[in-house]
Amino acid sequence: MRCLRFAFIFVCVFFFLSTSEAVAQTRYVSDVLIVSLRDAPSNNYHSIKTLKTGTPVETISEEDGFYKVRTKDGLEGYIAKQYLTLDIPKPVIIKRLKADLDKALKRIDKLKSELTQEKDSLSDSLNAEEVKNAALLKQLNGARETLAKIKKDKAEIVARYETLVRDSGHIVDVINERDRLSSEVDALKNKVDALEEKNSALLRTGVIKWFLAGGGVLLIGWMIGRISRKHRSSLSY
């Protein structure tokens, strides 16, 4: 009895497991044109609705070679087991592949558009960078020219400085000679001024003397003439 009980329990469990696997699974109408959804598990019962190949249904239970199923719109009925399969039908696969292909194509078009925009943006950035680089190169060339001019001016200044350094030893002698000549010129000028003053004094003295001498001569002549006239007058009487 105990063995029979275990056997009965085993059979019940196996049946329960096999039934539960069939329940709540999504199955598809196999590759036939149209399948009838009936209101009872027999081909003799009334057809509730016809389902096309690839229509997904949810299995609820299994009975007498039929699956009790529920459609997406909530309609329940029975379909013969041979018309349902767990494998996705080819038309469904093709439809999904086509949908995936359309999505991939749209994604490719979007990526192409983004790539074009990115390319245009990079091209604009590249052009801007080329313009900037050209301006920087121009500035660099100008800076190089300025640096070359500064180096040339520096070389000239250094040469002039070295010349001045070489000639600086003669500058002191020139300054001393200038001061000496200046002193001699001042001394000569003082002598000239003294001589001029002395000459003026002598000139004034000479004029006076000549004036006095001339006046004396005239006075003597006048006196001689007068005496001579008096003498002539006395002789005539």
For residues 74-84, give the mean pLDDT. Answer: 92
Q: Sorting pLDDT into bands at 50, 70 and 90, what band is 164?
A: confident
pLDDT band at 20 (very low <50, low <70, confident <90, very high): very low
- Summarised one tens digit per residue, pLDDT across range 186-236 is 888 888 788 878 777 777 776 666 667 666 777 777 777 777 666 666 655
Nearest in space to 84 (alpha carbons), one of 111, 112, 62, 116:
62
Rounded average pLDDT over 165-170: 67
Average pLDDT over residues 7-33: 54
* E-only strand ranges, 8-114: 26-29, 34-38, 47-52, 56-63, 66-70, 76-80, 84-85
**Predicted TM-score of the model (pTM):** 0.35
Domains of the chain: residue spans and CATH: 2-86 (2.30.30.40)
- Kindly state the DSSP code that residue 46 receives in the 8-state scheme: P
pLDDT of residue 16: 42
Q: Determine phi and psi for 48, rounding to 5 degrees.
A: -80, -40
pLDDT of res. 194: 81
Distance CA 138, CA 39 (A): 90
Q: Helix, strand, or coil here: 45?
A: coil
Phi-psi region for residue 26, left (φ > 0), alpha (ψ -120 to 50) or beta?
Answer: beta
User: Which candidate, 49, 76, 47, 82, places its Cα nearest to that of 61?
Assistant: 76
- Under 8 Å CB-to-CB from 23, ≥6 apart: which residues? 59, 60, 61, 62
Q: How far apart are CA 28 and CA 49, in angstroms?
A: 15
- DSSP state letter for 61: E
